[in-house]
Amino acid sequence: MKIYTKTGDNGTTSLSDGTRVPKSDSLLNAYGTIDELNSFIGLLISEENEIFLTKTQNFLFLIGGMLATPTDKWDCYYKDVCLEDFILEIEAEIDRMAAELPPFKGFILPQGSRAIAYAHICRTVCRRAERLVVILATQNERYKIVQKVLNRLSDYFFILARFFHKKSNIDETVYQSIK
């Protein structure tokens, strides 16, 4: 089987129902950014393998599929998916790690180790994905649950970076104003 179809050579691609859309479509920007986030999570896993990261990758893959599916078909294909439950799992992971961390002292510079830096890259790519989904949610309320997942995940990656600081015994570098 050949991987190339040449159907996208004209700048369009298919959604899951076969609808052709421009590759610049806001849906593609959103789920393409989620795919990018998923790839960066894979890079993070190569440095520091937290079990919850693979679970997150699976959910992000599912969310990408949801975004590639018209929302009026979500009940057909994703009726058994409960993203609210995944949000609760994210919050539990945040709470678990945060319980071991010192109080927050201010803005933290994204540095310290590769794992810490990758966690911050995941946080920032996640925030970009969230901003793109916010645009979709203004057009269709069904995307708000995806927006909520991404908002919580970006918090998770921030706490994960702090957790890696503690785990590796690397001091956090707090932003110092140069005014």
Q: What is the CA radius of gyration of the chain?
A: 18
Looking at the DSSP bridge assignments, the partners of residue 13 are: 21
Handedness of CA 43, 48, 50, 51 (dihedral sign): positive
Percent of the chain with pLDDT over 70: 96
Provide mean pLDDT across the span 110-124. 96
More confident: 1 or 65 = 65
pLDDT in tens, 138-153: 999 999 999 999 999 9
Nearest CA among 41, 43, 61, 78 for reference residue 154:
41
With a CB cutoff of 8 Å and minimum separation 6, the contacts of 169 are none
pLDDT in tens, 13-46: 677 777 777 666 788 899 999 999 999 999 999 9
User: How far is residue 157 CA from its own chain's centroid?
Assistant: 9
> At residue 19, what is the residue type?
T
pLDDT in tens, 92-105: 999 999 999 988 88
Our CA angle for 57, 136, 52, nearest 5°, is 15
Neighbours of 79 (CB within 10 A): 8
